[in-house]
Chains A and B, each alone.
Chain A
Amino acid sequence: MSTVNPPVVFTQDELGWVSWIDPLSETELTERHFAGLVDRARAKSDYFRLLVRDPEVLEARTRTDKDIFYNVADGLPRAERELAAAATSRHNGCIYCASVHARFASTYSRRRDDVQRLLDEGVKADLGERWNAVVKASVALAATPIAFGPDNVEELRRAGLDDAEIVDVINGASFFNWANRLMLSLGEPSKKAISPAQELLLVSTLNGWSRA
């Protein structure tokens, strides 16, 4: 039985996630469940084996998620969709979701330091006009009652977003109000344990020891 080692700060590191109620076991999964998982590889994840207790909802949710974030034929660049997801997660307080989508935002934007400032300083960090507008719109959408208004639309337009791109911001930020609530309430994040071999490699890299 592994013990949970919860992170206490927002991070771009890879985290684990531990369920508070029982996921299905891999041996219980039927074709109906695999249809719900969409990708068979997700059968390895506790989170998806928990959500697959309702396979129809999981399947529809997964396909909604994939189109909002991965369909980049047009609309907002992937990096800024991930920024909306990370900002929403930062504001709602989902350390796990923020870690995943901050990493994606860094990868696609190559602005890792700015993404880290969003995590460290919070949603008021100054990240330049365009990113500020996306973060502010995401924060306004996360509020209950919803605070997204004409000023947000105006700011996004001033920052150069057209209406199709603004719809991507609305979809991406709104979707994370769905994701955050599941991740935060059905289990908790855990820092990944580093194996002794990985630790040795890390220490040797930090100390500049040559592997060659």
Chain B
Amino acid sequence: MSTQDIIDTLAGIEPGSALDAIRARRLQARENAQKSYLSLFEPIDSGEFSLSERAAVAAFVTGLHGESPVAAFYREKLAANADGAPLLEAITAEIERGRTSGPYGAFPAGPLSIENKAGLIYRVGAERKPVLGARLAAALEHAHLLVFRPRDASSADMKALLAAGWSETGIVTFSQLVAFLSFQVRVVSGLRTLAAASAQELAS
């Protein structure tokens, strides 16, 4: 594959390092995490979910996880788009508005209800709706739900996306993108933590 492995790049894994060797033992996982990234951000067909929307949602989702090389990467990806600058400004403001800690949300009514945890029900700021548009505003609200309180999701949330102009296929790709980023940001963070712990051990 010509493109550099995105997880290795973001995690700072050097060729020939110990973690590089460990990752080589899960080659199919490594190559297909990369293919997942490429199929989401360089898709064959972006008709149901535009590249600009993908970059905006990715910057929002990774930004909600706090500052990191992953968040910086997707922010730059959004800024590189033709219409990126005003969107990046709006997304940056919405990340501030939506920042909280998860997971929280409600369980189905019953014995698990004692574990229900209340938290922010995020809605896009009214002042940002004109620049984001109805489709992207609905997408950010749903993405926030997926990031922080996925157990709150209901069929009404699917209806809200359909009403905002998302197709069923668009919803599937959009959900995959948010869910994939939830994976990618954790693998990168986990590998960085492990590499730092090993470096610490060598130094002491």
Is the beta-carbon distance between B179 and A181 smaller than 8 angstroms?
Answer: yes
Is the beta-carbon distance between A93 and B18 smaller than 8 angstroms?
Answer: no
Partner of B158, one of A74, A182, A186: A186
Q: Is B122 an interface residue, CB under 8 A from the partner?
A: no
Q: In the complex, what residues of B have CB within 8 A of residue A175's CB?
A: 183
Segment at the A interface, from B76-84, B86-94, B98-106: B98-106
- Residue from A74, A122, A145, A173 whose CB has the most chain B CB atoms within 10 Å: A145
Is the beta-carbon distance between A181 and B175 smaller than 8 angstroms?
Answer: yes
Q: Is A29 an interface residue, CB under 8 A from the partner?
A: no
Q: In the complex, what residues of B have CB within 8 A of residue A66's CB?
A: 28
Smallest distance from the beta carbon of A7 to chain B beta carbons, Å? 7
Interface residues of A in 91-124 (CB under 8 A from B): 91-95, 122
Q: Is A209 an interface residue, CB under 8 A from the partner?
A: no
Is the beta-carbon distance between B176 and A163 smaller than 8 angstroms?
Answer: no
Is the beta-carbon distance between B193 and A153 smaller than 8 angstroms?
Answer: yes
Q: Is A35 an interface residue, CB under 8 A from the partner?
A: no
Partner of B28, one of A56, A71, A168, A182: A71
Complex Cα–Cα for A122 and B147 (A): 21
Interface residues of B in 140-198 (CB under 8 A from A): 142, 145-148, 150-151, 153, 155, 157-158, 162, 168-169, 171-173, 175-176, 178-180, 182-187, 189-191, 193-194, 196-198
Q: Is A159 an interface residue, CB under 8 A from the partner?
A: no
Q: Is A205 an interface residue, CB under 8 A from the partner?
A: no
Smallest distance from the beta carbon of B105 to chain A beta carbons, Å? 7
Is the beta-carbon distance between B32 and A170 smaller than 8 angstroms?
Answer: no
Is the beta-carbon distance between B39 and A60 smaller than 8 angstroms?
Answer: yes
Complex Cα–Cα for A58 and B173 (A): 9
> Count of B residues near A, CB < 8 Å?
70
Q: A57-B36, A61-B32, A144-B65 are in contact. Are A178 and B193 (CB under 8 A)?
A: no
- Against A, the Cβ 8 Å flags (1 = close, 0 = not) of B15-45 are 0001100110111110111011011100110
Smallest distance from the beta carbon of B35 to chain A beta carbons, Å? 4
Partner of B179, one of A143, A163, A170, A178: A178
Smallest distance from the beta carbon of B186 to chain A beta carbons, Å? 4
Segment at the B interface, from A47-55, A125-133, A194-202: A47-55
Is the beta-carbon distance between B43 and A56 smaller than 8 angstroms?
Answer: yes
Q: A22-B168, A144-B101 are in contact. Are A93 and B150 (CB under 8 A)?
A: yes
Partner of B40, one of A22, A57, A143: A57
Q: In the complex, what residues of A have CB within 8 A of residue B162's CB?
A: 21
Instruction: Report the nearest A residue to B109, measured CB to CB.
Output: A8
Q: A64-B33, A141-B190, A185-B157 are in contact. Are A92 and B183 (CB under 8 A)?
A: no
Is the beta-carbon distance between A68 and B36 smaller than 8 angstroms?
Answer: no
Smallest distance from the beta carbon of B139 to chain A beta carbons, Å? 13
Q: Is A149 an interface residue, CB under 8 A from the partner?
A: yes
Q: Is B115 an interface residue, CB under 8 A from the partner?
A: yes
Q: Is A171 an interface residue, CB under 8 A from the partner?
A: yes
Q: Is A67 an interface residue, CB under 8 A from the partner?
A: yes
Is the beta-carbon distance between A8 and B26 smaller than 8 angstroms?
Answer: no
Instruction: Report the nearest B residue to A168, measured CB to CB.
Output: B26
- Against B, the Cβ 8 Å flags (1 = close, 0 = not) of A33-63 are 0000000000000000011011011111101
11 residue pairs A–B, Cβ–Cβ below 8 Å: A7-B108, A54-B169, A60-B38, A67-B28, A68-B26, A141-B189, A146-B66, A167-B23, A177-B186, A178-B180, A182-B179
B-side residues, CB < 8 A to A, are 18-19, 22-23, 25-29, 31-33, 35-36, 38-40, 43-44, 64-66, 101-103, 105, 107-112, 115, 142, 145-148, 150-151, 153, 155, 157-158, 162, 168-169, 171-173, 175-176, 178-180, 182-187, 189-191, 193-194, 196-198, 200
Question: Besides the contacts A63-B35, A171-B26, A180-B150, what 6 more A-B pairs have beta carbons closer than 8 Å?
Answer: A21-B162, A61-B36, A66-B28, A92-B150, A181-B179, A185-B146
